[in-house]
């Protein structure tokens, strides 16, 4: 008599094909496929693989780590524009301050011009021939920290010439006695400060 016992595979898969024989017991055991030995979790190769995967996950999750060359150039250009704007504004502020100082000095010298012109006119009225003086020395001394003065009998002009104290040397304010007008002669208008015509009477 042969009795066969079948067990549920979920209970004990190894005993699925077990057979009992009363006369001669025969046990059949299932053949279990030999599994490859799993790689030890602590081996260097395993740790290296995990590190590489972790870095890849971080790089994929963090888009800020990926900056293209075009983006870098755009950032540098933006920084450059900001710096140019800041320095440009500062330079404009400096030039404006110089201009205000120069305008104030021009306004201060105009009364000296008027004093010279009045002295010339008084001299002419007192001269027996109604003539003009030959030089400023005949009229007296006229001083200014930012200007020196010159007078030309031939051209009938009075000049006020800027000194270093003005901020730039060599600018001429010219008054024509004949035409009774002021004009400015600046040999280097690109250099600040300069003198504007609208500052003059």
> In total, how many domains does the chain have?
1
DSSP one-letter string for 150-167 = EEETTTTEEEEEE-GGGT
135 lies in a domain? yes
Pair type for strands 157-162 and 181-185: unpaired
Following DSSP, what letter does each residue of 172-186 receive, concatenated?
A: EEEEETTTTEEEEE-
- Confirm whether 72 is domain-assigned: no
**Which pLDDT value is given to residue 50?**
61
Distance CA 172, CA 195 (A): 9
Give the domain range for residue 150: 98-199
| pLDDT tens digits for range 91-109 | 888 888 989 999 999 999 9
Prediction pTM value: 0.58
Alpha carbon 35 to chain centroid, angstroms: 68
Average pLDDT over residues 48-66: 56
pLDDT tier, 7 (very low <50, low <70, confident <90, very high otherwise): very low
Q: Is residue 74 part of a domain?
A: no
């Amino acid at each position: 008599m042969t009795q066969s016992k079948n067990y549920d595979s979920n209970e004990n898969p190894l005993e699925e094909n077990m057979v009992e024989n009363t006369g001669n017991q025969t046990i059949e055991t299932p053949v279990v496929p030999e599994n490859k030995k799993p790689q030890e979790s602590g081996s260097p190769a395993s740790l290296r693989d995990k590190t590489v995967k972790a870095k890849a996950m971080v790089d994929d999750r963090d888009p800020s780590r990926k900056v293209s060359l075009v983006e870098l150039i755009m950032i540098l250009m933006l920084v450059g524009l900001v710096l140019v704007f800041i320095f440009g504004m500062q330079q404009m502020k400096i030039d404006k301050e110089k201009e205000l100082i120069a305008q104030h000095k021009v306004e201060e010298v105009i009364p000296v011009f008027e004093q010279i012109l009045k002295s010339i006119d008084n001299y002419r009225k007192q001269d027996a021939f109604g003539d003009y003086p030959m030089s400023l020395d005949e009229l007296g001394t006229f001083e200014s920290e930012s200007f020196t003065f010159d007078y030309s009998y031939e051209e009938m002009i009075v000049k006020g010439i800027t000194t270093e104290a003005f901020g730039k040397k060599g600018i001429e304010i010219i008054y024509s006695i004949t035409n009774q007008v002021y004009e400015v002669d600046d040999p280097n208008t690109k250099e600040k400060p300069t003198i504007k015509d609208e500052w003059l009477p």
